C-alpha cells in the first residue's frame, strides 16, 4: 500500500529545491553544494601559520537560489523552521559596511548575511546583484567539528557566484567566507575549513600552507585507507567556547617570541623561552610547533602508503590536543580510547575545534564494520551513551548541481 504522504527527498540538494518549491512557490534556477570537512591532522595551527591536512567529505550543505523580484531577500533553512528570514537591500548594503542587525551569537543568520556582504564587497562596481530567495538544507551535523558552518558559507558563496554570473575562484571565495565567519560570527578561525570545502578533491586530502599567499596541494589517500567518524553528540559552539581564548593566547606567545607565526619556530626555540612565556603559554606554543612537524610527517606517510605511521601521528596529535592545548573533553577522550582498541584501527584523534564533536579514526579498508561495533560497545560502556558512527570518503569541493 503506498504511503499517504510523499516521502521527503533525502539528499540536501533535493531538499533545498523542495523547500523552495513548497515555501516560495518557485523552482530555483541555481542549486549549489559544498561539503563539510574532517581534519586528518593539523589542529589549531591554521591560525598560527601552520600547515594542515583536511579532506572534504561526502556530507554536504545545499543552497537553492530563486529570484526575489522587487521583493526583499528571503532565506529559508530547514533547520530553523518554515518561516523565511527577510531583509531588505538596505540591510545587505549596511552589512557590506560592517553594520549588522542585532542577532544572537552563533545564529545561522550571522553566517548567511556575512557571506552575502563579503561576496558583495568583492564584486566589481556596477555588476547587477539583485536580491534572491535562498533555501538551505544540509546533512553535515551541527556542532560536531565537521565544519557545518564552512559548508553553509561556501555553498552560499558558490550559489551567489553562479546566480550573479561571476567566475568561480575557490581560494578567493574561501577567503571571503573566512572574513564572514570572523567579522559576523565572531569566530577567530583560520582558513582551513573554508578552503577544504571550496577546493576539495575526490580521493585526496588537501595540504594547506595557511600563511599568505595560501598554497594548496592535493595529497592522494591510499586505497587501503578508510576513515570512520565517531560523533560523540556533544555539541560545541566555537564562538562561545574557549576557542577565542586559545587564539588570543597563541598570538600573545608569538609576540613574546618575536614572530608572527608560532609554527615558523622549532621546539628548541620555544623551550629556550619557557621561563619568559610561562607554563601555560609554553604548552600552547609547543603544541603548535610539534603539530606542524606531525603534519609534514603525515604527508610523507600518506605519499609512501605508510598507514601505520599516519595512525601513530594522529594518536599523538590527540594526546597533544588533550594535554597541551587542552581542547578535548571526556567524551572525545573516550571515543579515541575506544577507537584505538578496536580491530583494524591504526590511530584516532579529535577533529575540529574541540570541547565536543567528533573523532576521526584511520582504519584499514575492510575492517569498518568490526571496528564500528567495537567502538560502540566500548564507548557506551565508558560514557553511558551511544555515539553516531559513519564512514567518510575524501570528496570534491563546492560545485553546482543544476543551473
Annotated catalytic residues are 193
Alpha carbon 203 to its chain centroid, in Å, reads 18
Q: What is the DSSP letter of 129?
A: -
Q: Buried b vs exposed e over 342-357: b needs ≥16 C-beta within 10 Å? A: bebbbbbbbbbbbbbb
Name, in order, each residue with C-beta under 8 angstroms of 361's C-beta and a sequence gap of 6 or more: 227, 228, 229, 230, 339, 342, 345, 347, 348, 371, 375
Distance CA 189, CA 191 (A): 7
Give, for 309, the enclosing helix (H) or strand (E): helix 307-323
Q: Is 304 left (phi over 0), alpha (psi -120 to 50) or beta?
A: alpha
**Cβ atoms 236, 356 nearer than 8 A:** yes
**Cβ atoms 64, 13 nearer than 8 A:** yes
3-state secondary structure of 284: helix
Residue 326: φ, ψ to 5° = 55, 55
| C-alpha cell, 115 | 557571506
108-121 and 170-184 helices, crossing angle to 10°: 130
Give, for 358, the enclosing helix (H) or strand (E): strand 358-364
| C-alpha cell, 315 | 594518536
Give, for 74, the enclosing helix (H) or strand (E): strand 73-77
Name, in order, each residue with C-beta under 8 angstroms of 373's C-beta and a sequence gap of 6 or more: none
Cis peptide before 213 (omega within 30 of 0): yes
CA distances from 385 to 229, 231, 283 (A): 16, 11, 32
Amino acid at each position: 500500500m503506498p504511503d499517504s504522504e510523499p516521502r521527503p527527498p533525502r539528499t540536501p540538494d533535493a531538499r533545498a529545491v523542495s523547500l523552495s518549491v513548497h515555501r516560495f512557490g518557485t523552482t530555483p534556477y541555481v542549486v549549489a553544494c559544498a561539503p563539510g570537512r574532517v581534519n586528518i591532522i593539523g589542529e589549531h595551527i591554521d591560525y598560527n601559520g601552520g600547515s594542515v591536512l583536511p579532506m572534504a567529505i561526502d556530507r554536504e550543505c545545499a543552497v537553492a537560489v530563486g529570484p526575489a523580484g522587487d521583493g526583499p531577500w528571503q532565506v529559508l533553512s530547514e533547520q530553523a523552521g518554515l518561516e523565511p528570514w527577510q531583509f531588505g537591500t538596505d540591510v545587505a548594503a549596511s552589512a557590506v559596511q560592517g553594520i549588522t542587525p542585532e542577532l544572537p551569537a552563533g545564529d545561522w543568520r550571522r553566517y548567511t548575511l556575512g557571506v552575502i556582504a563579503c561576496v558583495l564587497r568583492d564584486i566589481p562596481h556596477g555588476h547587477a546583484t539583485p536580491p534572491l530567495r535562498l533555501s538551505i538544507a544540509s546533512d553535515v551535523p551541527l556542532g560536531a567539528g565537521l565544519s557545518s558552518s564552512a559548508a553553509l558559507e561556501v555553498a552560499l558563496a558558490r550559489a551567489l557566484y553562479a546566480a550573479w554570473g561571476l567566475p568561480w575562484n575557490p581560494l578567493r571565495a574561501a577567503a571571503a567566507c573566512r572574513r564572514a565567519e570572523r567579522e559576523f560570527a565572531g569566530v577567530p578561525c583560520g582558513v582551513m575549513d573554508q578552503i577544504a570545502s571550496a577546493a576539495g578533491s575526490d580521493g585526496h586530502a588537501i595540504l594547506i600552507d595557511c600563511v599568505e599567499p595560501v598554497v594548496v596541494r592535493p595529497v592522494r589517500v591510499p586505497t587501503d585507507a578508510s576513515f570512520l567518524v565517531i560523533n560523540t553528540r556533544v555539541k560545541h559552539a566555537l564562538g562561545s567556547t574557549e576557542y577565542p581564548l586559545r587564539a588570543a593566547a597563541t598570538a600573545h606567545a608569538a609576540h613574546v617570541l618575536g614572530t608572527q607565526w608560532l609554527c615558523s619556530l622549532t621546539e628548541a626555540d620555544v623551550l629556550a623561552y619557557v621561563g619568559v612565556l610561562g607554563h601555560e603559554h609554553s604548552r600552547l606554543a609547543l603544541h603548535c610547533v610539534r603539530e606542524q612537524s606531525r603534519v609534514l610527517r603525515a604527508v610523507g606517510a600518506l605519499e609512501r602508503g605508510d598507514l601505520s605511521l599516519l595512525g601513530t601521528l594522529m594518536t599523538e596529535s590527540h594526546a597533544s590536543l588533550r594535554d597541551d592545548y587542552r581542547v578535548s573533553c571526556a567524551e572525545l577522550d573516550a571515543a579515541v580510547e575506544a577507537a584505538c582498541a578496536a580491530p583494524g584501527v591504526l590511530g584516532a584523534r579529535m577533529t575540529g575545534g574541540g570541547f565536543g564533536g567528533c573523532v576521526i579514526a584511520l582504519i584499514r579498508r575492510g575492517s569498518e564494520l568490526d571496528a564500528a561495533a567495537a567502538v560502540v560497545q566500548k564507548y557506551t560502556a565508558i560514557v553511558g551513551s551511544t555515539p553516531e558512527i559513519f564512514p567518510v570518503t575524501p570528496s570534491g569541493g563546492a560545485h553546482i548541481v543544476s543551473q
